[in-house]
Structures are given as C-alpha cells and as structure tokens.
Amino acid sequence: MRPTLILLSDAATKAVILKRLTAAGEYRQEPVFDHLTADGASFGVDPTDAVLDEYTADVLERALPGVWAHAVMIEYGVREEVRPLVLAVTDGLDGVLDTNHGPYLRFGDLPASGWLARLGQPGRDDITGDPLAVFDEPPEEPGDPVIWPRWTGYGESDEATERSRRAVLDELRRELLPTHPLFGRIAGIDAFHAASDDVLARLDDGTLVVVHPTWSGRPEPYEHCPSFVVLGAHSDAARRLRKYEGWTR
C-alpha cells in the first residue's frame, strides 16, 4: 500500500481541486481509485468523500470551522513526486492538507511547509506556517524523549513487540534497494505509529529516522521509496518531531 494524503475543503473548493487534477496529466476514472499520470509519476485519486468516515466530527470542526467538509484523497509513491502536484492543485485555495503523518496544514502554508521539503532533509528552523492544533499535546518531562502518544512500542521489550520489530525490520530490508540512502543502515526499530503505518527506526550511527514502509514485500523501484525523514539523535530528534512533523507543537 502506498502512502496517502487528504485534501479537506468545502464543496466548491473540492470541485476546483478535481478540475485541476484532471487537467494535470493523463486522468482515467477507475472503479476504486482514479488514476493520474503527471510528469512521469503515477497517482491514485479517490474523489468520493469516503475517507471522511475515518474522521470524528470534532476533528473536522477544528480543521475546518463552520464548513461542511469534503475530501479528495491522493495516493502517491514518494513525497518528492507529490509535492508539485499538491502545490499546483491547492494554489490560491482555502482548505487543509491532512498528511496522514500528524500535521494538518493550511493550503496557504504549504509552499513553506517542512512536510513538503525534499526527502531525507531534516526540519529547518526557518519554516513558517505552524501545523494546525488538531491533536492534543503529550506531557513533557525535562530530559525525556518526546514521543507522540500514538507511537507504540517505545521502550517496551515484551515478546510481541520484539516480534513486530523483527518483522518490520525484515520488511524494510526487503524493500530497500542498494541505491536507497538507508540501505544497510537500519540497526533497529524503536516504535510504531498505528495511524499512519510509519515506524521510528534507528540507524547504525544512532540517528533516528521516520520511515514509511510500503508493505509490498519486495524491493521498491524508486530510489527514495520507502520515503523517510531524518530526525537526528536525542534532543535533536525530539525537537524535529515537534517542529517538522507536528506530532507535538
């Protein structure tokens, strides 16, 4: 399964987004996901609003106050490919991007957003456009790692967790080509994010990275797939979790 993102907006804005998507390249309607090929990249498009069933009314109200929400879901290969498409179809419009990785970002903030930065680059201190405060913040204790509560397995060593770590590590080793920047470097899996299927991985030098496995069970043909974000180590990793991905503010 490839990663997805959701564009949330009102009905009129959704109509403009869909018009721009169909004009962005070769667009073909399909029974499940429509198919778009643009600039050599392949995307799946779900224009049906079905994904709204996964949201609570409270979350939608905080993301789009006073608006009857509509959605367009886009399935993509790597973040670097989807960046120009998202910027093009949301340009000048009002709405919210749900990255499926934590932050909810206003369309107007996307050009400066760290989430749409080039793959593998850590968050920059000069990023503007803070993520929307859709999620509650976890408590912070001085010196403790800052891990979003939806991450599971952090610091745990029970048999089931260890089996999950080994299974994910084996999956990543199957997916990574020798040309991938993380090939041969993942030393272990520290935590899992059930909502997005991301994993917090530890490299051979102690650096922490967030990796989005494709769960395909085979080598991925793209150089930067599975996609990943470098967090750094220790306090740097915690800071970048807060600032770059928006799991905390």
Task: For the chain, give the mean pLDDT.
Answer: 77
Q: Which residues pair with 189 in a beta bridge?
A: 201
Distance, CA of 105 to CA of 98 (rounded, Å): 7
Q: Please compute Rg for the chain using Cα positions.
A: 18
pLDDT of amino acid 123: 38
Q: Which two tokens stand for residue 50?
A: 């079905």
- pLDDT tens-place string over residues 58-78: 888 888 989 999 999 999 887
Q: What is the structure's pLDDT at 236?
A: 55
Query: What's the length of the chain?
Result: 249
Cβ neighbours of residue 52 under 8 Å, at least 6 residues apart? 60, 69, 70, 71
Would you state the structure tokens that stand for residue 122, as one six-digit string? Answer: 């850590």
pLDDT of 141 reads 42
What integer pLDDT is reported at residue 151 of this predicted model? 65
- State the pLDDT at residue 230: 80
The position carrying tokens 């899996």 is: 189
pLDDT at residue 147 greater than cutoff 80: no
Q: Does residue 10 contact residue 67 with C-beta atoms inside 8 Å?
A: yes
Note whether 120 and 224 are within 8 A (CB).
yes
Q: Per DSSP, which regions of the chain are E strands?
A: 4-9, 26-28, 34-38, 41-46, 70-75, 96-98, 104-106, 151-152, 186-193, 198-203, 208-212, 227-232
75-130: pLDDT as tens digits: 988 777 888 999 999 999 999 998 875 567 889 888 876 666 544 433 333 333 33
Looking at residue 21, its pLDDT comes to 97
Strands, E, within 100-204: which ranges? 104-106, 151-152, 186-193, 198-203
Q: CB-side exposure of 119: number of CA atoms within 13 Å?
A: 19
Percent of the chain with pLDDT over 90: 26
Q: Which residue has the higher pLDDT, 36 or 193?
A: 36
What is this structure's pTM? 0.54
Q: Report DSSP letters for 39-88, one per residue.
A: TTEEEEEE-SSGGGGGS-HHHHHHHSTT---EEEEEE-S-HHHHHHHHHH
